[in-house]
Amino acid sequence: MKKFQVQPGFVVQAFRFALDPNAAQEQALRSHCGAARAAYNWAVGWVEAAWWQRRAEASYGIFETGLTPWRPWSLPALRRAFNAVKHTDPRFAAWWQENSKEAYSTGLANAAAAFDNYAKSKQGKRRGRVVGMPRFKSKRKARLACRFTTGTIRVETDGRHVTLPRLGTIRVHEPTGKLLGRVQAGSARILSATVRHERGRWFVSFQAEVKRDLVRVARPDVAVGIDLGIKTLAVMADSTGEIREVPNPHHLDAALKELCRASRTVSRRRGPDRRTGQKPSRRWEKANVTRNKVQHRVANLREDALHKLTSAVAAEYGTVVVEDLNVAGMLRNRRLARRIAEAGFGEIRRQLAYKGKRNGCRLVAADRWFPSSKTCSGCGAVKAKLPLHIRTYHCDACGLVTDRDANAAHNLAALAAAAVTGTGVAGDPDARKASKPRGADRKTRTTPSGRRAERGRAGGATLPHQQQTETRDRPQIEALTL
């Protein structure tokens, strides 16, 4: 796809609007997205055909020099190969001219990126989970999306229509004033547009180069630690000692009864069956639309609540400290998976990361093994064990009694000073190889209690296993709140 050079002082920002296409325009949108999927599948099959051919020839004992040459998967190479066969290939010859060339470029670009990810993962150059070979996209399951980088891409002056290549002028469900005003003022330039079908609606996202002035936060000298949980979505403790609690709205729980009723109605209708080729009935389609509306409303409410929370935090505090949670591992707990997914821990951190850049807010991620809940915010003593059912923290050393989540938030806020001095907080680029903060490794120091504490203060000897023990608690348990 086309690459753009961002000018100094400008940032790339997306503006998303819902569309209200008519029947003909919706059919054209689906055709473009289907063309992107077809081009993607063709590219995957074209590249992998050479792989399988080489494997078959190698099994016959053919030497390396006599094998079929590798087919390149770069975007220019895929474009040249596709343009050479689109006139004669029966899969495209009859209808490829009906769509914009950008639809096919979208599929080819996605295929090139998929092969690059697979190659980098195979070579160990890509972070995250291992990526397998690209697979064909199903017509039934593939997400409908198409990107336009050239041609007529603009927001109309009436603020209620947008124009896209080959699709024409489409009405927008909501006013486009937030982008139109910037374009007319000369502070924004549209780079590309992406149409996508999500949650039963069509959306268009304009990628624009926007001139944005840095708006400083309200309290730049104040750091806040955020402890995420289930019962209480976020407990925030700042460096001034103030504590705020953000309750979890539980949008899914509120709509669960309605969702169960709608799902039961769907199950009683004649639905599709791929094994027998059975088509869904009209009543099943209507019931399925009703059920999807409930799920879409829950998703929209959750998204709105998370955006309001992260926007308020990024606009107020100069430094935000969050935990590096293993959300994928936490979701393996079948008892809490639904509530953890509903809270959106990973989405909160993602939004804080990009919103903090707008206001000069600095985001620091505490080490995954940092015992935020087990550490006393008053004296720094660390407990060896702290079960989840204990919601009040009692320090055996100094006698501090406080809420478990508030104690963890205070410990996270204290890490902001350590991140400034470079003492090894994860997320600080200058502290990668520095010494670790207190308790940031996998071992938790125990605090003697009772007679052991009195004997320790009196000069009595303690055994090695009493001084330091290894905790076997999983790291993701630290942020859970039952």
Task: Write the secondary structure of the chain as one string of H (helix), E (strand) and C (coil).
Answer: CCCCCCCCCEEEEEEEEEECCCHHHHHHHHHHHHHHHHHHHHHHHHHHHHHHHHHHHHHCCCCHHHCCCCCCCCHHHHHHHHHHHCCCCCCCCCCHHHCCHHHHHHHHHHHHHHHHHHHHHHCCCCCCCCCCCCCCCCCCCCCCEEEECCCCCEECCCCCEEEECCCEEEEECCCCHHHHHHHHHCCEEEEEEEEEEECCEEEEEEEEEEECCCCCCCEEEEEEEEEECCCEEEEEEECCCCEEEEECCCHHHHHHHHHHHHHHHHHCCCCCECCCCECCCHHHHHHHHHHHHHHHHHHHHHHHHHHHHHHHHHHHEEEEEEECCCHHHHCCCCCCHHHHHHHCHHHHHHHHHHHHHHHCCEEEEECCCCCCCCECCCCCCECCCCCCCCCEEECCCCCCEEEHHHHHHHHHHHHHHHHHHCCCCCCCHHHCCCCCCCCCCCEEECCCCCHHHHHHHCCCCCCHHHHEEECCCCHHHHHCCC
**Is 227 among the catalytic positions?**
yes
Pairing relationship of beta strands 392-394 and 362-366 according to DSSP bridges: unpaired
- Note the maximum CA span of the chain: 91
From the list 324, 367, 405, 478, the catalytic residue is: 405
Q: Where are the domains of the chain?
A: 10-23+145-211, 30-122, 217-482
- Selecting among 102, 238, 316, 323, the annotated active-site residue is 323
Instruction: Please tell me the predicted confidence (pLDDT) of residue 71.
Output: 92
Please report which confidence band the pLDDT of residue 2 belongs to, taking 50, 70 and 90 as the band edges: low
By DSSP bridging, strand 468-470 and strand 317-323 are: unpaired
Full-model pTM? 0.76
Task: Say what percent of the chain tops pLDDT 90.
Answer: 59
Annotated catalytic residue: which of 227, 316, 324, 428? 227
Give how far Cα 209 sits from Cα of 158, 196, 333, 354, Å: 21, 21, 42, 16
- pLDDT, tens only, 432-447: 333 344 444 455 545 4
Res. 279: pLDDT tops 80 = yes
| 396 classed as catalytic | no
Q: Work out the mean pLDDT of the chain and round it to a whole number.
A: 84
- For 6-56, write each residue's pLDDT tens digit: 565 688 899 999 999 999 999 999 999 999 999 999 999 999 999 999 999
Identity of residue 435: S
Known catalytic membership, residue 405: yes
Q: What is the pLDDT of residues 375-408, one digit of tens each?
A: 998 888 888 888 888 888 898 888 889 888 899 8
**89 token code pair:** 């290939």
Q: Using 50, 70 and 90 to split pLDDT, how confident is the model at 127?
A: confident
